[in-house]
Amino acid sequence: MEKTTSTNDWLTLTGAGFLALPSASPKLGNSTQAVHGGRVENPYHSITEPLVSTATYTFENTQTINEYMRQKLWGEPLDRSEYGRYGNPTITAAEARLAALEGAQEAVLFASGMQAISTLLLSLLSAGDHLIITENLYRKTRQFCTATLPKYGITCSVVPMNDRQALTAAIRPNTRLLFSESPTNPHNRLLDIEQFVEVARQHHLLTVVDSTFATPFNLRPLEWGVDVVVHSATKYLAGHNDLLAGVVAGRHELIAGLREFQGVVGAISDAYIASLLIRGLKTLGLRIARHNENARQIAEYLAAHPAVERVWYPSLPSHPDYAIGLRQYKGFGGVVSFTVKGDAQRTARVLDALQIPLLAVSLGGCESLVSQPAVISYYELSRQERRALGIEDNLIRYSVGIEDADDLIADLEQALRQV
């Protein structure tokens, strides 16, 4: 492979004007992109992207300012930054790598997954517009779409996952956008992405998919024709439970307006977070292979256990989206959700008896984490409301880390035996 700076074939200008690998190069595999994608040539020749912690940037003289403003006005690639809210070289480097991984023309980094989702939807939609979301979305995304957006005159319909008829019936003259998530949190429902895109295209609608659980190693939504992909980078992309971030990736024409809007509302990430994220991304391929394999083994073990009622993992033929998984997905990630036989108290005893996973919300890091959604993420809802969302009292969400599967299974065995 040529060095990044030695042939023009490999060079491109990123948003803040740094030399980088072409983000959507079809020649490179995902693991190569995770290590090198969008790699910047920096003034120090350091192998790591410099951590540029600054609020603003200096100009040599007024002529330099005039030249910069001219480039900006004409939408030309910029070779420098102006102010911290509009750009930062470390953030640009993270964005270039994320774009490379998703096969996107451009990516924008945010301070959290929810900030990415909310800023994106506010930038794409206007008062009077309607959007359709699928059921089983991450709870706060659903809350944002059904309770927050209506305050700004944007209405929302919720349809069952993969129900073509319901999706088509929900489309109105003012529908602009379809939003889904895959695999979903916490039941690992898989979006039939082919069908989703087909319906959207028939009706000239934009499509957005939250691919947090999949990561580009298990699914590349843009390759299936989705317009915009979003992630909570807090999870697998960063991978170490040490930061919060979000990302939106897609075509220049869609991302340009979002970037402009980001500068207006100030929904930005930070250079230190971006450098940690770049570091985490380098091992994404190795981690996902391990998460996929560990979770598959644990799901199979749990499915055969007499104390377990039901397991939600798409590699199991009992999962409702097993067939879609075989056709469209390369793996299913590290989250295994399951119900134990018994009530909320018995379920809590299983969790408390586990020795290796830590009792915490979130997912996608090296450490295994477990939680009982009914007593934490959905605590304030009535049991009836929780049931309507499929959140049973005896549901456990296990975010399987990268530990040894044998140890995690032995630990589950001792915990399930105790109750």
Ligand X SMILES: Cc1ncc(COP(=O)(O)O)c(C=O)c1O
Binding test (CB under 6 A) with ligand X, winner from 14, 123, 136, 212: 212
Task: Kindly tell me which residue out of 244, 298, 370, 374 binds ligand X, with binding defined by CB under 6 A.
Answer: 244
Give whichever of 119 and 141 is closer to ligand X, judged by the CB atom.
141
User: How far is it, in rounded angstroms, from Cα 202 to Cα 73?
Assistant: 36
Q: Which stretch binds ligand X (CB under 6 A): 63-71, 109-117, 252-260, 389-397?
A: 109-117
Work out whether 114 is an interface residue with ligand X (CB under 6 A): yes
Please answer whether residues 23 and 247 qualify as being in contact, where contact means their C-beta atoms are separated by less than 8 angstroms: no
The region, left, alpha or beta by phi > 0 then psi within -120 to 50, assigned to residue 333 is left
Rounded to whole angstroms, how far apart are CA atoms 284 and 417? Answer: 34
Q: What is the DSSP letter of 146?
A: I
**What is the rounded CA–CA span in Å between residue 39 and residue 103?**
15
The active-site residue, picked from 39, 220, 235, 296, is 235
Q: Which is nearer to ligand X, 113 or 373 (CB)?
A: 113
The yes-or-no answer on residue 138 being catalytic is yes
- Cβ proximity to ligand X: between 155 and 212 the closer is 212
Q: Which residues contact 397 (CB under 8 A, 6 or more apart)?
A: 186, 335, 337, 363, 370, 371, 372, 373
Please report which helix (H) or strand (E) contains residue 103, including its range: none
- Residue 338 — φ and ψ, nearest 5°? -155, 155
Residue 235: active-site member = yes
Q: Nearest approach, Cβ of 141 to ligand X (angstroms)?
A: 6
Residue 321 designated active-site: no
Task: Confirm if 106 and 95 have CB atoms less than 8 A apart.
Answer: yes
Beta strands 206-210 and 155-159, pairing class: unpaired
Shortest distance, CB of residue 8 to ligand X, whole angstroms?
37
User: Dihedral of the CA atoms 117, 113, 247, 401 (nearest 10)?
Assistant: -140
Footprint of ligand X on 152-181 (CB under 6 A): 181
Which of 245/340 has CB closer to ligand X? 245
For the segment 32-61, give every residue that binds ligand X (CB under 6 A): none
Q: Is 219 in the site for ligand X (CB under 6 A)?
A: no
Residue 81 Cβ vs ligand X, minimum distance, rounded to whole Å: 25
Q: Does 135 bind ligand X (CB under 6 A)?
A: no
Least separation in angstroms between residue 208's CB and ligand X is: 12
Distance CA 71, CA 26 (A): 29
* Among positions 14, 30, 88, 185, the unique one binding ligand X when judged by CB under 6 A: 185
Of these residues, 85, 140, 330, 346, which one is catalytic?
A: 85
- Residues near ligand X (CB under 6 A) are 112-114, 138, 141, 181, 185, 210, 212-213, 232, 234, 244, 246
User: Which residues are catalytically annotated?
Assistant: 85, 138, 210, 235
